[in-house]
Structure 1
Amino acid sequence: MTLHGAVIIEQGVTFAVIAVKPEITRYTQNLVAARSELMQFFPNMPIILMSQDSEGRPHYYGRKDIVDFLKTIRLDQIPWKEYHIY
């Protein structure tokens, strides 16, 4: 599986941002399951899920302080990369 994401360190907090399809963030059960599964690949860090609406606007789901920070930056400022997970 290939994930599009980023590991960011901001103000001493290391967290992961993972891009997912809107179907994942549309339903709480899917959101919780995805974050739980991703914890094994990004241990000991908060996981923020990001999906985009039909107009390309990002929507973030996770720890409020991190979500508030991500809302202040442009999507292209996030150091995205591909993670190959097996």
Structure 2
Amino acid sequence: MAQWDIALVLEQGVDFAVASVQDHVIDNHHTAEGLVAALSVRLGRPAVLLGAQRHRLYGRQDIVRFLQSVDPARLPWRRMEIAS
């Protein structure tokens, strides 16, 4: 089991997850795509990635556009254990 900082969000009828990751994960398209797909399945909702330091976003574009106007500190973060 790995520990993740995850925010589970329901906004305007869209249920999604935001996962905090190291910035280098977002820099690698192949790694980022695989992680978004795996987290989406495990969490049962679309997932996007948020770089922990630079706050870059990666994932479904409608969710990314919405999150660009949201301060990451305002998201409902929680530490979760997710099977790898």
Same fold (TM over 0.5): yes
| Structure 2 counterpart SS, 1:40 | helix
**For residues 12 and 6 of structure 1, what CA distance do their matches in structure 2 show?**
16
Q: Deviations 1:44-82 (Å, cap 9, x if unpaired)?
A: x21110104xxx441111111111111111111111100
**For residues 39 and 78 of structure 2, what CA distance do their matches in structure 1 show?**
16
RMSD: 1.3
**For residues 35 and 48 of structure 1, what CA distance do their matches in structure 2 show?**
6
Amino acid at match of 1:73: V
Q: How many residues align?
A: 82
Runs of 4+ in 1 over 3 A off after TM superposition: none
Amino acid at match of 1:58: H
Higher share in helix: 2
Unpaired stretches in structure 2, ≥5 consecutive residues: none
Q: Does 1:79 align with 2:80?
A: no
Which TM-score applies when normalising by structure 2?
0.88
The residue aligned with 1:34 is 35
